[in-house]
Every structure is written in C-alpha cells, then in structure tokens.
Amino acid sequence: PKGRRPAPEESRPEASPATMVGSGASRPKGRRGQTAK
C-alpha cells in the first residue's frame, strides 16, 4: 500500500505530501510526517 510502503521517491515526507499525511495519520504524533504539518 502507498501509506504503508511508499515509493523510493515518496519515502521522504518533505518531498511527498501524500506520504506525510498517510504516515503521519497512522503513526503517533512527533513523527516527521506530523512535525512537518
């Protein structure tokens, strides 16, 4: 799945907003995805 295992270019939350939302929403706060938001 995209939210679980993003593509190599989407591995970086800064480069991919979709990954940031998918990972941040699933993972606890304080993660890079949530911190960037």
pLDDT tens for each residue of 9-26: 555 555 555 555 555 555
Structure pTM?
0.13
Average pLDDT, the chain: 54
| Nearest residue to 16 (alpha-carbon basis) of 30, 29, 5, 28 | 5
Model confidence at 37, pLDDT cuts 50, 70, 90, reads very low
Other Cβ atoms less than 10 A from the Cβ of 36: the count is 11
Q: How far apart are CA 29 and CA 7, in angstroms?
A: 22
Tokens found for residue 15: 């480069």
Please state, in angstroms and rounded to a whole number, the distance separating the CA atoms of residues 35 and 7.
Answer: 21
Please, which residues have CB within 8 angstroms of residue 24's CB and are 6 or more apart in sequence?
Answer: 13, 31, 33, 34, 36, 37
